[in-house]
Each structure stands twice: as C-alpha cells, then as structure tokens.
Amino acid sequence: MATQFAGGVYVNTTFTGAVRSDIQANLLTQMVTAGWTNIAQAASQGPGGVHTITLTIASPCVVTDTAHGFLGNERVILQVSAGGALPTGLSVNTVYFVKFINANTYNLSTTAGGSNINTSGSQSGTIVLNTQYILLQSATQANVTNPINIRLIDKLGSCIAVHIENTAGSVKSANQGSTSYGGYLLPAAAKTFRIIATKYQFVCFTSNVATAREFVMAGMLYVPSFLSGVTDQGYMTSNCLADSSASVAQSFRFSASLIDNGSTNSAPQNLETLYNSSFMESGSSSLAVGIGTPEVVISVPASSFNSAALKGYRWANDDINTSDILYSSGLTASSDEGKLKGQFYDMVYIADAFVADSTDTFSGHTWWNLTSNQTGSTGASRPRGGVWVATS
C-alpha cells in the first residue's frame, strides 16, 4: 500500500509543560486545531479522581480538600448527592479551575487564573469534586464507522494520562483509574514538549529519547477498503510502564523494535489497542509477549535482524529503502493470532540511521524523525532505521 496522508490541518509546535494542567490544556488546544472535537464532560462519565469536599459560603468560596495534590489550574467539576444542592455561584457538571492556596485548600474560578468564585445562599448533601478528564474525538475516515476517542486524565499522580476508547465509551481500559495503565507525560519546570497532530492521531514527546514518560502516540489507523465491517479502531503507545516509573520502555523514540519488546522481556510498554468490540492493553508487567503482542510490520529483510551485516536497506543506486508501517495485534490477549489492523497515517520507515529529531522534505511533505539513531543492525531489537512522521 502507499503512504496514507491524513490531509487537513497539520500541527507541529512546542509548549512548556511545567505542571500537569499545562500538558492537558495544550494538548486540548492543539488537537482541536488539528481537527479533533472536544467532547463535553457528562455526569455519567468517569472522572480522573474523586474528592469529597466542603465549601464555605463566602467571598471568595474556599474549598477544603485535605492533601488534594493540586498545583493550580487543574480542571474540575462538582457533583452533589441526591436531594442535595450547591450554593449559589456554583453548578454541577460545570468546568472550574483550581486556584491553589495551600496543601489542603483552594479557590475556584471559571477560567484558568481567573477571578475567585463567590458563593451565597445555602448548601446541602455530600459534595464531590472530580478532576476532569478531557475527552477528544477524531475525525471519521471512509472505511471505519466511528471516530476514536482519546481521554486526557489528571489522576493526581505525577503525570497526565492518555487512554483511548470507542465513541460510545463502552470499549475501553478497565483500569483507567489506575496509575499503572495508560500512556504518561511527566511535567517539569521549563520542560518543552513537541506535539505533531492531525485529525486522526497525535504524537507528543520531548527531546529526551531515552527518558520515560516523555513520549505518547495515539489515534486511529488508516483502514483499507478491503477490511469491511470495521466499526471502531484505535491505538495508544508510549515509552513508560507507570505514572511513577522512571524505567524506559522501548518505543518509536528509543528503539526500532517498534512496540513489541521481543522474547527477552515479558513487559512491553503501556499500550492499548481497540478493534470493534475488542480491547487489548498492557500496564506495568501485565501483558506477556506472544504472537498477538502489538507490533509493527515493515519491509526490512529478516536477515538484517539477526546479523551485524547490513543487508537490503538500500537500493542498487544507493537510494534508501522506505516502507509503510502496518500495525499487527491480537484482539484481547497476546496469545491471540496477531493480525494486521491497519496502517499508521503520515508515517514511513526509513531503513537508515538518522539522529532523532532530524527533519527533511521529500514526497511533497516535510517530515520529523521520531526514532533515536540506529547506527546498524544489532539483532532483532534494534534494526537499522526509524520512523518518520509527516508534519505538513
């Protein structure tokens, strides 16, 4: 098959992710620019974290939330038990922003960094504050019935978490509340993230190819017309094992093993695959390697994976071989047969060594090299070459 381009708006920009809310807010802004839709939070949708709180009737209103873990500007919503009521000035299922006071209290505002909310009247019932996830929906492609949803969750750990689910919210990780599942992006003072996004997928990463929790890629694959009956389909891959783990998992950024860690490691990085009503995920050490473990399929000669000799990576006229990147996985378990689910949009594999974050222009597009420098073939885990993503 030929390389498949998403078309539409291509986003390629950077942002500073000093705190979790920076990452969440910037991903929201840039993905909407690329063509994703921000889906409003509903009362029945699961929050990132749940806190029982108390409110003052005052100007400004003060929220008491012991050891809350917020840093400021987190997006939250309020809900109240049946028969209860919030004071005047606050409403249920409305997005508010945290304004930090101390470890146990904060104010609320209607915009990030905005004026404090005042309350009056009376209140009753048990009041619960939810850390809001952001739910984003891709565009729809011709050969898949539904778009894919991506959830950006502040679990009040170290990172912002990334999960995928179907549009109905019925096929998704059973562990979205766990900090051991999902892709993770770790904020830090003055840390710069890059996001490359189209209407079908996004890639977010830093310049540190060998640092965990600094690479996540998610979206939907291109599905060719001969695969009929595909209603829902998507993927998420990362370079981490958990919200709190600094261990680097193999990924597009660090190793050309490209998702499957191989037979020497029974714990591939946190990833998720959705296909129709089936869902596969790994978190920490939960997914054993098998024939259905998610991995990519590229046209690199098998002999190059098991020999120090360089073979077949370039043509007789010295042009470098390029390959479209297909995605294979089982349905729900690594013991399932791994079958091709589709092709990555806007990506090619180039079978030669380039420094990570190199850029180039070819085939009428500009490109970004996601993969760390592969200087030669050193076995199945590190074939020569890497993944390039189109930025225009």
Residue matched to tokens 């939070």: 41
Give me Rg for the CA atoms of the chain. 22
**Would you say the C-alpha torsion 111, 49, 205, 4 has a positive or negative sign?**
negative
DSSP state of 184: E
pTM: 0.84
The pair of three-digit structure tokens given for residue 251, joined into one six-digit string: 């990924």
d(CA 392, CA 390): 6
Whether 235 contacts 295, CB under 8 Å: no
State CA 81 to chain mean position distance. Answer: 33
* 123: exposed, middle or buried (Cβ count in 10 Å: 0-12, 13-18, 19+): middle
Which pLDDT does position 380 carry in this prediction?
45
β-strand partners of 279: 274
Domain extents in the chain: 11-41+134-390, 49-131
Which pLDDT does position 301 carry in this prediction?
59
For 72: left if phi > 0, alpha if psi spans -120 to 50, otherwise beta; the answer is left
**Would you say the C-alpha torsion 308, 388, 333, 214 has a positive or negative sign?**
positive
* Angle at the Cα of 341 from the Cα atoms of 198 and 266, rounded to 5 degrees: 100
Which pLDDT does position 249 carry in this prediction?
83
- Establish whether the linkage from the previous residue to 294 is cis, with ω within 30° of 0: no
d(CA 86, CA 91): 7
**Would you say the C-alpha torsion 250, 282, 202, 362 has a positive or negative sign?**
positive
Give mean pLDDT in consecutive 10-residue pieces for the chain, a chain of 392 residues.
93 94 90 92 53 95 92 86 93 89 96 95 91 88 97 88 95 91 95 98 95 96 96 95 89 66 54 96 73 80 54 83 91 92 95 88 95 56 77 96
d(CA 351, CA 360): 15
Which pLDDT does position 8 carry in this prediction?
97
Residue matched to tokens 């009929």: 228
Q: Which amino acid is at 359?
A: T
79: number of Cβ within 10 Å: 17
d(CA 211, CA 184): 12
Question: Which CATH entry fits the domain spanning 49-131: 2.40.50, 3.30.60, 1.20.120, 2.40.30?
Answer: 2.40.30
Which pLDDT does position 264 carry in this prediction?
43
β-strand partners of 316: none
Helices (H), 295-384: none
